[in-house]
Structure 1
């Protein structure tokens, strides 16, 4: 089987029988990470020399598409693959410098399903403005002392470590660093688990750092280079969220088309109505446009092209498609689509976060305008 088929089969076997329960629980079991690692899924897109399976963004896109096609939710994918935003900075700096201490301590166990990592960037006072981070890390001998707070942290309540963005220098982008903070470190606490409109099976935390002493060895790469490390991963994160968007849209479309074939109204299948047919066609058009464009941007990124602006556009295109498609899916399901626990209802809730996460649509449109030369 290819990677898409492996992901789909894993989803049907290990995820779909339990997803409703995990939604109610508000979290995924750690055993799922172990199972995904055993199947070779967690390491896709990570180099073999750090414990990964190899491959690139195209491979991770194929894997995610297969899982979405089989029914995986956006919330589940965010929780199971949070290491996709927690580890890349550690991997890239470790390979570049030859210092593999953090790789050995955090990357390998995470890709083996033995640890869970998360990324701590967003703060109570701001989200998309990464350069405005206020959490501080003051050097004190062989340690950093961290003070501040993070919020909306995906997998934060289950995480064994948080790759945390902190201010170690001057104001603005050039004074930020990344430091790995381990769960259980004195002063580092999960203040609360946050309840959300969607992504119910993806635990989300509010974190507090009060005089947290972390070994200086936990610094990721160079001091004050954190903004660059974070920005370097933005393209991949935004394409991944585009895959989430058109992935759940495609699944919602297939569920809806089947529902319209099976559902009878006024003595005939719902799908026999021309207005329903046209709606399904439009849903399909938007899914295919979003998929084709996002995959092309992914291909260009893998080829080494600068596609920062295009990744913003791909994410917005896919999010717009998802917003339209899941809304029509609920509408065509009628009352059944509005019932909690139905799959299209879950996708409807989950889709609402996607234009916000990874950079709000309005912020990314502003960035794209600057990059494309449309500001003067």
Structure 2
């Protein structure tokens, strides 16, 4: 059952109620089949856009809701609890809009943001490359200026929504000056010279397409440069800091769903003449799962509140991502254990939750990288 929340306004309470209705009626009934068939839920993102859920933290001027990150993340959590692929997709789309919302000109924002936030345009965030994952500053996809265009050549890897998105917020190299030589382009999916490789064959999140994006002399108009040349790496890191909170919220939603399933099963499953929830071994397992979920939720919400107050939150975002995704892995593993043999079958969703939890420890910066970020923050670097 949904956890009790302390929301800042009645408007936020109504929004979360709407989100739960959509999650219950429009997302949860489709999740298992879509994941089993690896079907991308494009229409569900349009539904979120029509419902006003794709632009919650962005200004109302461009179709957003201007809501605090604290509220937005609780919406992400509810959606992820119903269908993880859609929750992750919402987080990725929000991150993909960040460079435009933050550093785009008013002309660029007027032109693109309304359709992005309204659900007509779905985004992808193209930073990683096969040799530049954790070491993002080593990216080599190059954009050469040619008159009024940039000519882009290279390959982006592990792109969520790759081949399905309508736009790609793409980090490219415009000079050889290390991290200061990286710029950000807003690339239309229909750009000649841009194509998607076959989707990756993943152990989980199979409804969320992940693919390499191939740039073969793709011509991108120079008016799609976001910010100035050389500002792309800072924009990328700033977007990731907020995106990590989105993944933390997704992980908590997934863990909450696993806990709910485990509790429901333990209540109705009987052995030796009583429900297994009454056995101390199961009681303690469920109690530890609940503690992990509640602690992870509190961690991401505190980081969000710091962001909303304009305080530094890089360390807190890394901690939230680390704590929440490790918790999701433990909780989903234990949920399978509570269900026993049944949990290892596809008759129950906990085996899918376990497969989906693993990647949360990897994307948006592995949890080893989160420890590096936290340690550097502690050192004052």
Q: Which residue of 2 aligns with 1:41?
A: 53
1:154 corresponds to 2:160: yes
1:223 corresponds to 2:229: yes
Instruction: Measure how far apart 1:374 and its partner are.
Output: 8.6
TM-score for both structures, normalised by structure 1: 0.94
1:15 corresponds to 2:21: no
Change (3 A) 1:312 1:82: closer
Whether the 8 Å contact between 2:103 and 2:227 is mirrored in structure 1 is: yes
Residues 264-302 of structure 1 deviation map (CA, whole Å, 9 limit, x = unaligned): 112211111111101111111111111112211111121
Q: Which residue of 2 aligns with 1:271?
A: 277
CA-based RMSD: 1.6
Q: Which residue of 2 aligns with 1:175?
A: 181
Q: Which residue of 1 aligns with 2:136?
A: 130
Cα distance between partner residues in 1 of 2:321 and 2:149: 39
Cα distance between partner residues in 1 of 2:222 and 2:343: 52
Cα distance between partner residues in 1 of 2:190 and 2:367: 36
Q: Secondary structure of the residue that 1:147 maps to in structure 2? A: strand
Cα distance between partner residues in 1 of 2:39 and 2:228: 34
1:347 corresponds to 2:359: no
Q: Which residue of 1 aligns with 2:339?
A: 333
Whether the 8 Å contact between 2:98 and 2:239 is mirrored in structure 1 is: yes
1:116 corresponds to 2:122: yes
Whether the 8 Å contact between 2:193 and 2:218 is mirrored in structure 1 is: yes
Whether the 8 Å contact between 2:258 and 2:331 is mirrored in structure 1 is: yes
Instruction: Measure how far apart 1:222 and its partner are.
Output: 0.8
Instruction: Measure how far apart 1:65 and its partner are.
Output: 2.9
1:198 corresponds to 2:209: no
Give 5+ residue unaligned stretches, structure 1: none
Q: Which residue of 2 aligns with 1:65?
A: 77
Cα distance between partner residues in 2 of 1:31 and 1:279: 38
Instruction: Measure how far apart 1:29 and its partner are.
Output: 3.5
Instruction: Measure how far apart 1:216 and its partner are.
Output: 0.5
Cα distance between partner residues in 1 of 2:369 and 2:90: 27
Change (3 A) 1:29 1:365: closer
Cα distance between partner residues in 2 of 1:320 and 1:194: 24
2:259 to 250, 253, 275: 253
Whether the 8 Å contact between 2:91 and 2:246 is mirrored in structure 1 is: no
The alignment of Structure 1 onto Structure 2 pairs a total of residues equal to 369
Whether the 8 Å contact between 2:28 and 2:83 is mirrored in structure 1 is: no
Instruction: Measure how far apart 1:22 and its partner are.
Output: 1.7
TM-score for both structures, normalised by structure 2: 0.93
Whether the 8 Å contact between 1:132 and 1:171 is mirrored in structure 2 is: no
Residues 168-215 of structure 1 deviation map (CA, whole Å, 9 limit, x = unaligned): 012421110011121222211112111211111111111111111111
Q: Secondary structure of the residue that 2:82 maps to in structure 1? A: coil
Cα distance between partner residues in 2 of 1:171 and 1:129: 15
